[in-house]
Amino acid sequence: MRSRPVNLRAFAWVLAALAAGPLLVGCRQDMHDQPRLKPYGKSGFFADGRAMRPLVPNTVARGRLFEDAHFHQGRVDGKDAEAFPLAITKDVLARGRERYGIYCINCHGTLGDGDGMIVSRGMKRPPSYHIDRLRAAPPGYFFGVITNGFGVMYDLADRIKAEDRWAIVAYVRALQQSQNATLDDVPPAERDRLLRGE
């Protein structure tokens, strides 16, 4: 068999490309080293000398335009909302119980009587949810306190989303009902079972 002649010119180009490859890898544009402003750094470019620019007045971040005052502030016509803006279901109460256990129980206690762990550590006891004033308070009042804080309680709006704040309020209402209910409040079938001691 006859062997094919080697194309020396193509072979030379391949060798040159292989030799230049490692050199090309070393070339870069150093975009990560380009001049840039660092947050909280100084800048001679701006008149105030700060690199970080202040927010443009009257702007709202995407997804943060909370137009529904009832849902996001707990208020209707400038007053605390008398009703919930969402349906209270078993799932909502379960979520409220879970969130209450995370954010509220340390101060307000398991039953909402203000006998949380902080009291045993010397901090001021919060009011019980079962006093007349708080039992008569509308749901919007509790939502507002969770959102904006009250007294020594700090606001939790940045930690608890609005849906979960309403769920907590629903659970607080359930706690109030559970500690202030009478036998007449129990459905008849359950009442009979309770009276039989089951």
Task: With a cut of 70, say whether residue 6 has pLDDT above it.
Answer: no
CA distance 97 to 91: 10
- Residue percentage of the chain with pLDDT more than 70: 90
- CA angle 20-26-30, nearest 5°? 140
Where do the domains of the chain lie, and which CATH numbers do they carry?
A: 111-181 (1.10.760)
The pLDDT tens digits for 90-102 are 999 999 999 999 9
The residue that leads in pLDDT, 24 or 184, is 184
Secondary element (H or E) of residue 101: helix 90-103
pLDDT band of residue 175 (cuts 50, 70, 90) is very high
- Please give the model's pTM, rounded to 2 decimal places: 0.67
Bridge partners of 150?
153
CA distance 42 to 29: 25
CA distance 10 to 8: 6
* Residue in 50, 30, 54 with CA at minimum distance from that of residue 42: 50
The residue that leads in pLDDT, 128 or 62, is 128
The pLDDT tens digits for 103-156 are 999 999 999 999 999 999 999 999 999 999 999 999 999 999 999 999 989 999
DSSP code at position 6: P
The residue that leads in pLDDT, 34 or 29, is 34
Calculate mean pLDDT across residues 164-193: 90
Q: Are 87 and 151 in contact (CB under 8 A)?
A: no
The pLDDT tens digits for 63-87 are 778 889 999 999 999 999 999 999 9
